[in-house]
Amino acid sequence: MTTAYRSLSPEALRREYAEVSARFDALRELGLALNMARGKPGKAQLDAVSAELTAASSEQITAANDRVRAEAEQKRLEAAVEQAETALTAREAEIETLNAQLADSRTKAADAAAQEAELEAQIAAKSEELNRLAEGDDAFLARQRELSDQLSAKRLEQLTRQKDAELAEAQIAALEQRTKDAAARRASLEESLSALAARSESCRAEIEAIRKAKSESTGKIAEKEAAIRKATEERLLHQKNETEALAKARTAADDREEMGREMARLAERKAAAESEYDATAAKLWDEYQLTVSQAEEVCVEFDSLPALRAQVVEVRNKIRALGNVNVSAIEEYAEVKARYDALRVQVEDVEGSKNELGRMIANLSAQMREIFTDSFRAINENFGRIFAELFGGGEASLVLEDETDVLGCGIGIRVAPPGKVIKNLEALSGGEQALVAISIYFAILAVNPAPFCILDEIEAALDDANVSRFAQYLRRVSDKTQFIVITHRRGTMEAANVLYGVTMQEDGVSKLLKLDLEQVDATLVS
């Protein structure tokens, strides 16, 4: 069951409260005007109207507060009714569920009783058969034991059914008790709901009465406000005229008194100014040897005398803090300033040159980095190729230790001769190390060939096979560079175009032997 009630929203209540507050403020202003008009003709009438107005406004405010409280109480009651209805619905659903469970339990109890009766009949039949067999001979002993076991099983089943029946009865009793409790709670909730409905009707009637009283008080207040406003306007006009007349008279008297006081002050100031003028003139002549006319020529305007005096004291303190005066300070300053200006110009020139050199260094570094990177890449490629040719296989490369600083970092050498795994160059033999150095040298020479090159026994540590490969490679690249080789190795000599040897046929006399292998002739040259 749901009951609907008419109620005001919180916004409507706030608007109504605002209207009441505005009217109260207007009444308070009228009351102030009445206070200003007290003591004049019509005072009794105005006091009476003011009292009635105060009473009406108090009554209206009280009515508004009562209405707000009634509205709040109505909303609380409506919420309580809704909560009670919800609880009642839940209890009805719970009662229906309990009734269904009770019917189910009763059905189970009936089934258990029937099963129990059936078991008792079976037990009786088995007992009779057992007694009958007990009178026979030994042939029926096995049958007797079998029937005894069946009887025990039937009794156990009977006990189980009995316990199930007792449990069902206990559940039925509990459900009946819960049903009774739910019915009692339902009755209580219905009584509470009826009480809340009656209270809500009472609140609604009270609200209507308050609303009616408010409308009546609003009309009375309007009438009183009109009367008060008219009386106040008349009284204010009369008071305004009187106030203006009194103000004019008071102003005239004050002006006369002020003029007298001002004349006296001007006379005193004139005398003080003349005395101060004489003292200042005397002080100018005593301290600065200046007349008044001369001081007027060099004087400056100022806004405040105390501020000027404070400034004078500050300047005197600064002069005193300077100590003795250096007469030649101006010439020294001019000389120092000239030197400073000259040094500043030099510093600016040096800084400009520094910046220009920095830019040139940065450009050169960038160019060097680019040239080095290109040359390193080409040398590395040639190194790998030449290493494989001189060693008859294997791998080799050059590695930068820090690729971010190619101009300042070191260069590592990684080599892997055929059939070997080398982690350190020191693990190579002397001949292999020399051949690695030769490979690097020829790689550099391949990038930037020289017109001629002098080699001084660089293959001395090589074996015959490596000397032969060295000489063959030297002969292949001799079309770009002329090689002058100092050697004692036969393989290198065989690859040469011309041989020069030094012989000493006589003591202390050296001769130069030239052998042109292309013409295969030998001559002695002095």
Q: What are phi and psi of 395, to 5 degrees?
A: -135, 150
- 8: nearest Cα among 196, 204, 219, 201: 204
The pLDDT of residue 64 is: 67
- Average pLDDT estimate for 201-221: 74
* pLDDT higher than threshold 80 for residue 410: yes
pLDDT digits over 16-70, tens only?
656 656 665 665 665 555 555 444 444 555 566 566 666 666 766 776 676 677 6
For the chain, domains (ranges, CATH) are 10-258 (1.10.287), 333-448 (3.40.50.300)
Q: Which residues contact 168 (CB under 8 A, 6 or more apart)?
A: 105, 108, 109, 112
pLDDT in tens, 260-299: 788 878 878 888 888 887 888 787 777 767 777 777 776 7
The type of residue at 162 is: Q
Cβ atoms of residues 71 and 246 within 8 Å: no
pTM for the full predicted model: 0.35
Phi, psi angles (nearest 5°) of residue 9: -75, 160
Q: What is the mean pLDDT of the chain?
A: 76
pLDDT reported for residue 348: 92
pLDDT at 173: 77
Confidence of residue 354 (pLDDT cuts 50, 70, 90): very high
Task: Tell me the per-residue pLDDT of 455-480, one tens digit each, with 9 for 90 and over.
Answer: 898 888 888 888 888 888 888 888 88
C-alpha–C-alpha distance, residues 121 and 151, integer Å = 11
Q: Indicate if the alpha-carbon torsion angle 118, 120, 126, 128 is positive or negative.
A: negative
